[in-house]
């Protein structure tokens, strides 16, 4: 019988990956990453400089600076991260040159700028967040940033008016008349993008809650942040976001109970405490439960009246447009230009139209690879983040069809960078412990 040290090492792992992880000192790259992560929670509205042809907001500024760091890349100990670097460079170069055949050059430049910000941001996380301590720091900023964003959303729910972008619009007025309340949008352009933010955020915060040996004050902060995020997720009235969260939670429970992960007792305790809190709330304030269930019922019974902007019509028109140029795509912004300014409301469909099927297949392969890595090594890191990240990957296709477009949402690129970085950390830790 083979001992652990005698097991065959997968061919993707070079021998230098087995060295004890060096203690990285603080560097400028990490500083840029932390500033970029914090700027995600400012969005593109709170702090922004409107120039003649584009809007300069903090995350975009850091994304431009990040190009300098991209050009000074150092080879990673993990060959998968080396692939991520090459993929990022390829995607950026391809996106830049595809402006030449885009139907609307001005729109193409704008959309490519948004893409460059996101891709650079994700690569910065993969490059510099390479230890558990650094990933914990990034997620801690996420916890605090989510509280800030969701306090804005909570104010909008309580006062039933928007705080940042105060215009309502005819479509929002129709939604208010139909559901009886104003769904919050916080720092986002609409409630569906806000729902996507809280769908992804709620999953990450829930995974962080189920962790052994964390200080009480951090645990309380996590509970507060998760509670706000989950409540506003329901208030955002998005079937895609709520459905995605539900699906991910179900898979997460399966992954935990059918694995060697040591956090099962923590998960059971949280489930029991949640059930006890639910029973107490029914006794103390049944009206709160009734109001909450009414919101969920409205989500399930959401109006399906077909309009020119209906999702099925958008998807049909987008697929027909994409079919004519599957190979290299039609250029940045082509998906929006084809629909007269409307986004296709589907991330993969938008990428397919703009950049072609090769890019879509590469992105799917990356997600599949990350999923497999987290599954193979999740029992090495003693918290619930690896299985929760796996669950979020499975829910992502549903989560991403709700918002108008997630290409410009920093939280999407943050999530993508964190799950890639975490998968690399877990695999290196696995071989260090063998």
**DSSP, residue by residue, 383-399:** BSHHHHHHHHHHHHHHH
CA nearest 194: which of 156, 246, 233?
233
Tokens of 294: 């009414």
* Section 257-286 average pLDDT: 62
Residues 373 and 420: their CA atoms lie apart, in Å, by 9
With CA atoms as reference, report the closest residue to 58 among 40, 78, 74, 81: 40
The confidence score (pLDDT) of residue 23 equals: 47
Is the pLDDT at 302 greater than 90? The verdict is no
Whole-angstrom CA distances from 170 to 153, 173, 175, 180, 306 are 21, 5, 9, 15, 16
pTM: 0.86
Q: Which among 91, 90, 99, 88 is positioned nearest to 334, based on CA atoms? A: 99
If one compares 319 and 174, the residue with the highest pLDDT of the two is 319
Q: Which of 113-127, 208-222, 354-368 has the lowest mean pLDDT?
A: 208-222
Lowest mean pLDDT among 32-36, 277-281, 317-321, 415-419: 277-281
**What would the mean pLDDT of 106-128 be, rounded to a whole number?**
94
Query: pLDDT averaged over the chain?
Result: 81
pLDDT at 40: 95
As a whole number of angstroms, the distance between CA 320 and CA 317 comes to 5
The two three-digit tokens of residue 182, written as one number: 């104003």
- Contacts of 2 by beta carbon, 8 Å cutoff, 6+ apart: none
Within 13 Å of residue 166, how many CA atoms lie on the same side as its CB? 2
Residue 148: the pLDDT is: 95
Q: Phi then psi for 193, rounded to 5 degrees?
A: -65, -35
φ and ψ of 55, to 5 deg? -105, 125
Quickly count: other Cβ atoms within 10 Å of residue 7's Cβ: 9
């Amino acid at each position: 019988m083979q001992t652990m040290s005698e097991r065959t090492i997968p061919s993707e792992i070079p021998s230098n990956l087995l060295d004890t992880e060096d203690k990285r000192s603080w560097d400028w790259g990490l500083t840029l990453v932390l500033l970029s992560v914090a700027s995600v929670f400012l969005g593109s509205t709170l702090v922004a400089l409107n120039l003649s042809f584009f809007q300069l907001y903090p995350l975009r500024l850091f994304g431009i600076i990040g190009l300098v760091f991209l050009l000074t890349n150092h080879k990673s100990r993990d060959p998968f991260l080396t692939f991520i670097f090459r993929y990022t460079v390829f995607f950026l170069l391809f996106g830049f040159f595809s402006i030449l055949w885009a139907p609307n050059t001005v729109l193409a430049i704008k959309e490519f700028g948004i893409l460059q910000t996101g891709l650079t941001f994700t690569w910065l996380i993969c490059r510099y967040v390479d230890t558990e301590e650094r990933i914990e720091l990034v997620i801690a900023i996420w916890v605090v940033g989510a509280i800030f964003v969701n306090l804005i959303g909570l104010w909008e729910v309580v006062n039933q008016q928007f705080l940042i972008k105060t215009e309502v619009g005819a479509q929002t007025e129709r939604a208010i008349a139909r559901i009886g309340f104003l769904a919050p949008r916080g720092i986002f352009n609409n409630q569906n993008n806000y729902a996507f933010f809280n769908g992804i955020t709620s999953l990450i915060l829930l995974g962080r809650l189920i962790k052994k040996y964390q200080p009480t004050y951090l645990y309380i902060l996590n509970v507060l942040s998760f509670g706000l995020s989950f409540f506003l997720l329901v208030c955002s009235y998005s079937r895609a976001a709520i459905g995605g969260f539900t699906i991910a939670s179900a898979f997460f429970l399966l992954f935990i109970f059918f694995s060697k992960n040591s956090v099962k007792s923590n998960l059971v305790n949280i489930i029991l405490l949640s059930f006890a809190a639910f029973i107490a709330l029914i006794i103390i304030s049944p009206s709160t439960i009734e109001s909450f269930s009414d919101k969920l019922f409205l989500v399930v019974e959401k109006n399906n009246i077909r309009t020119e902007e209906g999702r099925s019509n958008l998807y049909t028109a987008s697929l027909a447009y994409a079919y004519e140029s599957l190979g290299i795509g039609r250029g940045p912004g082509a998906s929006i230009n084809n629909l007269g300014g409307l986004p296709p409301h589907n991330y993969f469909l938008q990428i397919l139209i703009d950049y072609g099927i090769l890019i879509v297949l590469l992105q799917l392969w990356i997600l599949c690879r990350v999923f497999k890595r987290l599954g193979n090594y999740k029992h090495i890191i003693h918290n619930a983040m690896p299985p929760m990240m796996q669950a979020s990957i499975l829910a992502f296709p549903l989560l991403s069809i709700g918002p108008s477009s997630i290409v410009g949402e920093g939280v999407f690129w943050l999530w993508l960078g964190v799950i890639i970085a975490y998968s690399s950390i877990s695999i290196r830790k696995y071989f260090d412990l063998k």
